[in-house]
Structure 1
Amino acid sequence: MNLKLIQPMKSISPNIFVNDIKATITFYSTLGFTLADEVTTPDGEKIFALMKNGSVTFMFQTLASIEGIHPMVSRSNGGSLLLYISVDNIRQYYDQIKGKVDGLTELNKTFYGATEFSLIDNNNYLLTFAEHE
């Protein structure tokens, strides 16, 4: 089937469901992300955060905030998701966060020419940072 592209897409921003939004904001701030926007309920509970670092945007939303609205969304902590993030100056970035996060792998030169390292975030998602040199 040949589908004609109606409108080109501009970007993708995954909305990642988490249990603890405050801990997630703290963790991603350690990785150099800044809080660009947030949603708080009338009761003062933070349920959504938009975080950015350069052109990378992640949305984080509490699982509790969608309970009963999207019953198909369910997960235990973590999941079969790897977020692959392209960066410049990977060695410098690695040195900046080394010692600040747990589960950091060593820098590795891959067979396909990238220098990479991985870590597990506070929600057990796997993040791989890569520079194609």
Structure 2
Amino acid sequence: MESLTVNTFVKDINKSIEFYKQIGFETIMTVPEEGDFVWVMLSNGGVTIMLQTMDSLGEELPDIDRNRLGGSLLFYIKLKQIRDFFESIKDKVEVVKGLEKTFYGATEFTIKDIDGYYLTFAEDEA
């Protein structure tokens, strides 16, 4: 195995793109290149996320629940300077769990995106 990139299904791809841009992600690729997007790849450092509309899926994967998004999935993202990052986004997003030091030594916080997916950011502070 070489890498893992998450592909999440979203209700409104344009609103989801804006959400991820406000926490530092940049658009890398879209389908189509212009117009009404059905898929987008976003990146921030070594983290890549793909967003896709349910309509674009068609009937290719019928077991994917088209009525419920988020909730059962948490992205665990490691980064440097977590306190500065937290300060830069805390007023722009829904913070579910504020900055805290865990029993295993990481400093973490968790936000929820507009489709109900949870993102925990973590740093192993000295």
Per the normalisation by structure 2, the TM-score is 0.92
- Which residue pairs with 1:63 in the alignment? 54
- Which residue pairs with 1:72 in the alignment? 63
The alignment-based identity, stated in percent, is: 44
CA contact (8 A) 1:50 1:60 kept: yes
Instruction: Map 1:1-133; keep pairs closer than 5 Å.
Output: 9-40=1-32, 44-75=35-66, 76-133=68-125
**What's the offset of the Cα at 1:49?**
0.6
Structure 2: runs of 5+ lacking an equivalent: none
- Distance in 1 between the 2:106 and 2:14 partners? 33
Q: Which structure: larger Rg? A: 1
Please give the root-mean-square deviation of Cα atoms over the aligned residues, in Å. Answer: 1.5
Per the normalisation by structure 1, the TM-score is 0.87
Change (3 A) 1:78 1:99: same
CA contact (8 A) 2:9 2:69 kept: no
**What's the offset of the Cα at 1:105?**
2.5
CA contact (8 A) 1:78 1:125 kept: yes
Say which SS state the counterpart of residue 107 (structure 1) adopts: strand
